Amino acid sequence: MKKNIKDFCIRGLMFAWGGPAITAIIWYFLGKAGQIEALSPAEVLIGVLSTSALAFIAAGISIVHQIETIPKLMASLIQGAVLYIDYLGFYLLNGWIKTENILIFSICFVVGFVIIWACVYIPIRIRVAKMNKKLGV
């Protein structure tokens, strides 16, 4: 358990630096869309810190796939649920989405998560099947 917590923190810290970059990109597009004109120092602080925390959690939660006692489907469901709560919570905190758009966000999140999960899982499954075939398993 200690190793999993340590690995969660290491993974999270490796990606938390991206928070300011993520924030700047989001603000750029919000500015282009005419959604924001200027930011207060408090908004900048909350945006940078919250996206750093968002990235920390998002990267760290991938550790669930390393825990051998958790079935792959359950690990994916745990990861998806944590990511959904993570993103939705921070997006609402920063005012990047409005409460009336939660359904649209939810649909986009689920579709995106399934597509990304399939793009990662299917090639691995194919490679494992080929290796098993070569080994005669």
Query: Are 47 and 81 in the same domain?
Result: yes
In three-state secondary structure terms, 7 is helix
Instruction: Tell me: do 89 and 115 sit in the same domain.
Output: no
Domain around 108 = 101-137
pTM value > 0.85: no
> What is the rounded distance in angstroms from the CA atom of residue 54 to the CA atom of residue 105?
16
Residues 38 and 72 occupy one common structural domain:
yes
Question: In this structure, what token pair is assigned to residue 67?
Answer: 């825990």
Residue 14: CB atoms within 10 A of its CB come to 13
Assess whether 58 and 107 both reside in one domain: no
Q: Would you say residue 137 has pLDDT above 80? A: no
Query: Over the stretch 83-136, which tens digit does the pLDDT of each residue have?
Result: 999 999 999 998 889 999 999 999 999 999 999 989 988 998 899 889 999 888
Residue pLDDT, tens place only, 36-59: 888 888 888 888 889 889 989 998
Same domain? For 59 and 33 the reply is yes
Angstrom distance (rounded) from CA 33 to CA 136: 57
Is 56 in the same domain as 111? no
